Amino acid sequence: MILCAGEQIARHRRAYGTGTFVFDPLHYLALIETKPNALDQAAALKDWDLPEAFQHLRHLLEARMGNRGRREFIRSCG
């Protein structure tokens, strides 16, 4: 838990095992937005199971707008 002036501003899951990582995909979206081609390679997003509607939205945006569409898709996930 992260507090600021006594108010909780974030809560993160923790992993206590050696070599174990816990990724929250939402924390990486701003970074991925600056490098949209990394969307499919980012380890933090690898197992992100989005509803089918998001996949459809991504396909439509990329087909219409190319790389700009990928950025719009990333913005829509946040």
**HEC per residue, 2-69:** EEECCEEEECCCCCCCCCCCCCCHHHHHHHHHHCHHHHHCCHHHCCCCCCHHHHHHHHHHHHHHCHHH
Instruction: Give 67-78 pLDDT, tens digit per residue.
Output: 889 888 888 887
Q: What is the pLDDT of residue 34?
A: 84
Decide if pLDDT at 1 tops 90: no
pTM of the model: 0.61
pLDDT value at position 48?
A: 79
pLDDT in tens, 6-60: 888 877 677 777 777 777 777 777 888 888 888 888 877 777 788 899 889 999 9
